[in-house]
């Protein structure tokens, strides 16, 4: 067992973990932060995507011990206020990507969504105005079986426009 100190969504946790424990298992099974999902065992699906020190990673490819001393941001910490539990005003505190996935219908079952949004957030950090092609290639590591990606791509570009300060929608 190894001692780790990891800051997840703004809270610092200290735990004894097995060296082989994956970061995603640490988040889900140890911390009970189940907003981050697992969709595969070969690091192909991207459902587990989080930010490690600000950069997008598949949390099933990182050991918890490797995240010792690091900052991890998950979907659960993305909204500026707790946006869970309703419609209307609840969306006000959401990240533009969360709002755009909602308005553009970029999710169906929603299982890929936390990873997809976290991957998209990092994509937009690097490229604030991606073309359709750039979004498609940028999200290549995140699989969605429901949407056919059309509305995911739209949502990412809509959020990008909002993040650039452009007028969106109406």
Which residues contribute to the site for ligand FES (CB under 6 A)? 38-40, 43-48, 58, 60, 107-113, 144-147
Chosen residue from 123, 144, 159, 163 binding other proteins by CB under 8 A: 144
Residues sharing a CB contact under 8 Å with residue 28, sequence separation 6 or more, in sequence order: 34, 36, 38
58 SS3 class: strand
Instruction: Report the alpha-carbon distance of residue 52 to residue 6 in Å, rounded.
Output: 10
DSSP, res 20: T
Q: How many residues does the chain have?
A: 170
Residues in contact with 149: Cβ distance below 8 Å, sequence separation at least 6, in sequence order: 136, 139
Question: Which residues 85-124 are close enough to bind other proteins by CB under 8 A?
Answer: 85-88, 90-91, 94, 98, 101-105, 107-114, 117
Residue 39 vs 83, nearer CB to ligand FES: 39
At its nearest, how many Å lie between ligand FES and the CB of residue 141? 7
Question: Where along the sequence are the contacts to other proteins (CB under 8 A)?
Answer: 18, 20, 25, 28-29, 33-42, 44-45, 47, 74-76, 78-79, 82-88, 90-91, 94, 98, 101-105, 107-114, 117, 132, 135-137, 139-153, 169-170
């Amino acid at each position: 067992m190894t001692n780790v100190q990891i800051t997840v969504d703004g809270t610092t946790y200290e735990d004894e973990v097995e060296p082989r424990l994956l970061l995603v298992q640490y988040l889900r099974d140890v911390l009970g932060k189940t907003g981050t999902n697992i969709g595969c065992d070969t690091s192909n699906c991207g459902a587990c995507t989080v930010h490690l020190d600000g950069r997008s990673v598949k949390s099933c490819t990182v050991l918890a011990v490797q995240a010792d001393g690091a900052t991890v941001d998950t979907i659960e910490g993305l909204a500026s206020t707790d946006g869970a539990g309703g419609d209307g005003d609840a969306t006000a505190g959401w990240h533009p990507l969360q709002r755009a996935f909602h308005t553009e219908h970029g999710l169906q079952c929603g299982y890929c969504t936390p990873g997809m949004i976290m991957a998209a957030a990092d994509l937009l950090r690097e490229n604030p105005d991606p073309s359709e092609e750039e979004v498609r290639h940028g999200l290549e590591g995140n699989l969605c079986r429901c949407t056919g990606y059309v509305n995911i791509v739209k949502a990412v570009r809509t959020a990008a426009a909002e993040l650039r300060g452009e007028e969106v929608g109406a």
